[in-house]
Amino acid sequence: DQQVKQNSPSLSVQEGRISILNCDYTNSMFDYFLWYKKYPAEGPTFLISISSIKDKNEDGRFTVFLNKSAKHLSLHIVPSQPGDSAVYFCAASGLSGGSNYKLTFGKGTLLTVNP
């Protein structure tokens, strides 16, 4: 039972254009969402997060949108750069410590930004 789903295994965009990565979740107990980026042979690195009390969080070129009613979130990267090419993971958890603090990840989307 996959509680966090990234249905697109890969995405290819041109440099300078917008990249949109999507994520869906099924567990209504999730109230904190994170995006991670992973390069080959490295551990995932944190990009941006959003709590369920917000519908948008922006950090530089990265914006995460949350639609709670649809149980959907997306990561927008604009403008996309070749260095953004990596695997992007969506993750979800409860907000605070305890059993609901477990981080559940999607399977990832490989983003390729072409020069």
Partner 1 sequence: GAGVSQSPSNKVTEKGKDVELRCDPISGHTALYWYRQSLGQGLEFLIYFQGNSAPDKSGLPSDRFSAERTGGSVSTLTIQRTQQEDSAVYLCASRGGQVGGEAFFGQGTRLTVV
Check: CB of residue 33 under 8 Å from CB of residue 73.
yes
Q: Annotate each residue in 25-64 with x if it binds partner 1 (CB under 8 A) or - if it does not, as one string.
A: -------x-x-x-----xxxxx--x-x-------------
**Cα(72)–Cα(65) distance, rounded to whole angstroms?**
8
**Cα(65)–Cα(54) distance, rounded to whole angstroms?**
9
Nearer to partner 1, 11 or 79 (CB): 11
Binding site for partner 1 (CB under 8 A): 6, 32, 34, 36, 42-46, 49, 51, 89, 91, 95-99, 101-108
